[in-house]
Amino acid sequence: MIEINEEDLRYAASRSSGPGGQHVNKVNTRIMLWFDLERSTQFSASQKARLREKLSTRLDKLGRLRVASQRHRTQRANRQAALARLQVLLEEALKKPTVRIRTRVPGSVVRKRLEDKRQRSVVKRQRAYRPGEEE
């Protein structure tokens, strides 16, 4: 689990969209969370590069990662949800991809594929109409 420094986070509240009656029109429960990746000291340069690459669509020009939450009816719940989502995003982006080990196709599979192609060729050849040939 990644621990995130509070100094690297900025929060902003705004009005939530969607259903909710009068309540949604008068309270600011939607939370926008910005994580300043460039100024953060908890990640190495290689980790920051990996995060920039994996999360490029979520970063702004200043290198801040944006996460929004408006699922809950309270600011506190939305703040916790946004922070949890940020942690999940960072953890997933920092995971090392598993290296694929190349394997050979078994000879029996190659032989079966070629035999199936030959069979299909024979079937198509037998269907073909040839003028002057009686059945």
Asked if the structure places residue 76 within a domain, the reply is yes
pLDDT at position 51 is: 85
Domain count, the chain: 1
Q: Find the domain containing 28 and state its range.
A: 6-94
pLDDT at position 18 is: 63
Asked if the structure places residue 28 within a domain, the reply is yes
Q: Which CATH number belongs to the domain containing residue 53 in this structure?
A: 3.30.160.20
Asked if the structure places residue 57 within a domain, the reply is yes
* Token digits of residue 28: 């600011």
- What's the mean pLDDT in 122-135? 82
Asked if the structure places residue 82 within a domain, the reply is yes
Of 34, 86, 100, 29, which is closest to residue 61 (Cα–Cα)?
Answer: 34
Question: Would you say residue 4 has pLDDT above 80?
Answer: no
Claim: this prediction has a pTM higher than 0.85 = no
